[in-house]
Amino acid sequence: MQKKKILYFVEAFGGGVFTYLCNLSNQLCNDFEIYIAYGIRTQTPKNFEKYFDKRIHLIRVNNYQREISFSKDLAALKEMKAIVNRVDPDLIHLNSSKAGILGRLLLKNSKIPVFYTPHGYSFLMTNASSKKRWFYKTLERLFAFKNVKTIACSKSEFNISKKITSNSTYVDNGINLQDFSSLVDIENKKMEEKSKKIKIATLGRVSFQKNPKLFNKIAHAFPELEFIWIGDGELRPELLAKNIKVTGWINKSKALNILNDADIFLLTSLWEGLPMALLEAMYLEKICLVSNVVGNKDVIKNGYNGYLCNNASDFIKIIKKIYMRDDDKRSNKIKENAKKDILCHYNSTTMVEGYKKIYLKALNN
């Protein structure tokens, strides 16, 4: 029996969206023929092909770019149309805002099942002006065509999507536990933890969304501790504290090994979809301190599997407690609870089953 074809469009081919597509497509390709039409970003891994199953077809969209450009977007739209005609898919899934807008414009009258996952709506960007955010939100409403179903990547994103369209559901992001098989032995590491200086790490692009200014402020408060930013980005110059090390873009295995060597995971984001890096830190039993925003607060239950922080003072106060080892017993329980949540729910097996159920329902209608 011939496999049904799924075509994914993604402009934001890097960071958490890249990890999400790897996890999803690699586990679905036993049941479906998978095509991914992608754009290149600075954070796209240089050897990204090796992360995907060899059965997956990768097609570059040359004119994808993050910024709005009438000429480039029109050219990208033509590329997308040509790809749809060539692949002749049974189902199409659009990922991120740019691919979502262009794809919905192209497929607004399509009889093929079409899905859209925002991975953090553009109108949530706090660095954009109120006019620009209104424009992005208006675009989402205008392009919320009845034949396109939104699949949010977290409960909070789902709640926001319901204000845009009634044709919406959600599947929580999940990480692939196989990615951790090559890590330095976690149990041996635990034996060493009490004898070494506390390390605090984050993972992701050094961008406005991730709030490097706040990360820098927290690092300044603890000059005796080591802070590590795993990644790179345009706002790297804002990480001025002498105790911050920025790794630059490195491969997945190396990034996870550095994260595994840390004690605390810090996520100072201004907004999120549902961050893969947070899920990875939870599985590695890091004490997770995150900003109290959409995405983060879906996963972290304050004081149970990590900490939600509203400002710099909250982050600093909790780090002091951990640093002074005021309650090691509680910290150990928090780490255990975090890992348990990943094993029970926020893993790629559970995520893939959720998508598979939605896809099959659409294909069988």
For residue range 297-328, what is the model confidence (pLDDT) as tens digits?
A: 999 999 999 999 999 999 999 999 988 776 77
Task: Give the pLDDT score at 196.
Answer: 65
Tell whether 150 and 256 lie within a shared domain. Answer: no
Q: Which pTM was predicted? A: 0.85
Tell whether 32 and 166 lie within a shared domain. Answer: yes
Over residues 95-124, mean pLDDT: 93
Task: Give the pLDDT score at 126.
Answer: 74
Tell whether 227 and 313 lie within a shared domain. Answer: yes
Tell whether 210 and 272 lie within a shared domain. Answer: yes
Tell whether 340 and 355 lie within a shared domain. Answer: no
Tell whether 72 and 140 lie within a shared domain. Answer: yes
In the chain, what percentage of residues exceed pLDDT 90?
A: 77
Tell whether 133 and 226 lie within a shared domain. Answer: no
CA atoms of 155 and 149, how far apart (whole Å):
16
Residue 175 in this model has a pLDDT that exceeds 50: yes
CA atoms of 159 and 163, how far apart (whole Å):
7
Tell whether 298 and 158 lie within a shared domain. Answer: no
Q: What is the CATH number of the domain that holds 128?
A: 3.40.50.2000
Tell whether 52 and 163 lie within a shared domain. Answer: yes
Residue 190 in this model has a pLDDT that exceeds 60: no
Q: Which domain holds residue 204?
A: 177-344
Task: Check: CB of residue 207 under 8 Å from CB of residue 234.
Answer: yes
List Cβ neighbours of 203 (8 Å cut-off, separation of 6 or more).
Answer: 230, 231, 255, 259, 265, 277, 280, 281
Tell whether 318 and 251 lie within a shared domain. Answer: yes
More confident residue, 138 or 6: 6
Which DSSP string do the residues of 267-323 spell out, in sequence order? E--S--S--HHHHHHHHTTPEEEEESSTTHHHH--BTTTBEEESSHHHHHHHHHHHH
Count: domains in the chain: 2
Task: Give the pLDDT score at 191.
Answer: 45
